[in-house]
Structure 1
Amino acid sequence: MPASTANKVLFGLTNVYYAVATEGENGVFTYGAPVRIPGATEMSTDPAGESTSFFADNQVYYEAEANQGYEGTFNFAKLPTSFYVDVLGQKLVNGGLFENSNAKSKRIALLFEIDGDVQADRFVYYNVSVSRPGTASKTKEDSTEVNTVELNFKATPRPDGAIKWVTGADTPKEIYDAFYTQVTEPTEVPAG
């Protein structure tokens, strides 16, 4: 696409999905079908990793940066029961969610989009672990304040080094349109 059709600004958050990841014996990840998490209200990420400086000859002689992915939070109106079962390993018992200390969380791919002035940018983080969300609420006063659920996550590199992929102005229409039907793997991956 010509530069004039590329986004100038990004805003908003919508279409958050998770796909349960399975790591094969050879370190290759496969993913289940993406499942929507409705009610996303906010998200933020920060880069994870450190920068190291080596000094020689009275100056910085070598600089190295470790890219360990991202750490972040998502806020939702409410997480669906499927997320607690599929990802956090909780069980449905007597119509409610039962949490056991022996439950094992699963890795997921996390998909979402941030709208733009031309077209939404669609993101996928490939190797995500999430923390169990807490519960918070307060009494209802003169007006109703809606509670949200905060989900902390870490998006770390897969064994092949892949962390995330974001659509762009030149993403083929068929890849863009099928983004939420399966976890998209770039067809051309440059050498690290």
Structure 2
Amino acid sequence: MANKKNKVKFGLTNVHYAKIKDWVTDASGANLTPVYVDPVRLPGAVSISIDANGENENFYADDIVYYVISNNSGYEGDLEIALIPTDFSTDILGEILDSNGVLVERNDDEVSQFALLFEFTGDKRKIRHVLYCCSASRPATEGQTTEDSKEVKTETISIKASALPNGLVKAKTCESTDASTYDGWYKNVYTPAVGTASKTTVKA
């Protein structure tokens, strides 16, 4: 992929989510690494807009910036899709599909954390991303009467992406990504090579 360098990016496609179904824990019972289910496609992606949380802070000594403290608090923003699938509502938002096929929301629904995978189209190669530990809020419910022309009403999910206990927040492909990793991006949640992320690596 070394000869396929992007100059620009545009578009959004191939949005997937992978629910965290369990955690590998240490002797004390503290969560260490997540165990993901296989990624599931989230169709109808319209847009994603996520902002970085956390700002660097300067520590001054000897009349200079002596040390820069990096505060990476993950990302926060919105994912707009055509219509939230029932699978996402039950898998992630904790809603219940009853015996009559009705989707039921309760005030004690337990939401699940998940990895969010997606890609932007580039002029040479699509750039594939993964946010390792996301949570989603319930979407608003809205609609309007049909007039002379029809306007599609999309649904927006607020996404908050935080760091895993081992420090991992996000990963993305680039021109040096090997073909097998790139082609298998949506088969399971990517595990960083040992030593590149932290002493503890994600077990997909």
Fold-level similarity (TM above 0.5): yes
Mapped pair 1:67 → 2:72: yes
Aligned residue pairs: how many? 191
Mapped pair 1:97 → 2:103: yes
Percent identical among aligned pairs is 42
CA deviation vs aligned residue, 1:103-124 (integer Å, no higher than 9, x gap):
1100000001101111101101
Measure how far apart 1:125 and its partner are: 0.6
**Counterpart of 1:29 in structure 2: which amino acid?**
P
**Counterpart of 1:145 in structure 2: which amino acid?**
E
Q: Mind listing any 5+ residue stretches in structure 2 that lack a counterpart? A: 27-31, 199-204
Q: Which residue of 1 aligns with 2:155?
A: 149
Q: Which residue of 2 aligns with 1:14?
A: 13
Within 5 Å, which residues of 2 pair with 1:22-171? 22-26=22-26, 27-56=32-61, 60-93=65-98, 94-171=100-177
RMSD of the alignment, in Å? 1.6
Q: Which residue of 1 aligns with 2:201?
A: none
CA contact (8 A) 2:168 2:197 kept: no
CA deviation vs aligned residue, 1:10-58 (integer Å, no higher than 9, x gap):
1100010101013222311110011111000011110011332334455
Q: Mind listing any 5+ residue stretches in structure 1 that lack a counterpart? A: none
Measure how far apart 1:177 and its partner are: 0.9
CA deviation vs aligned residue, 1:145-182 (integer Å, no higher than 9, x gap):
10011011111110000011101112111111111111
CA deviation vs aligned residue, 1:116-149 (integer Å, no higher than 9, x gap):
1111011011101111111122222221110011
How far apart in 2 are the matches of 1:104 and 1:191?
30
How far apart in 2 are the matches of 1:172 and 1:63?
33
How far apart in 2 are the matches of 1:173 and 1:56?
47
Query: Residue 85 of structure 1 aligns to a residue in which SS?
Result: helix
CA contact (8 A) 2:17 2:42 kept: yes
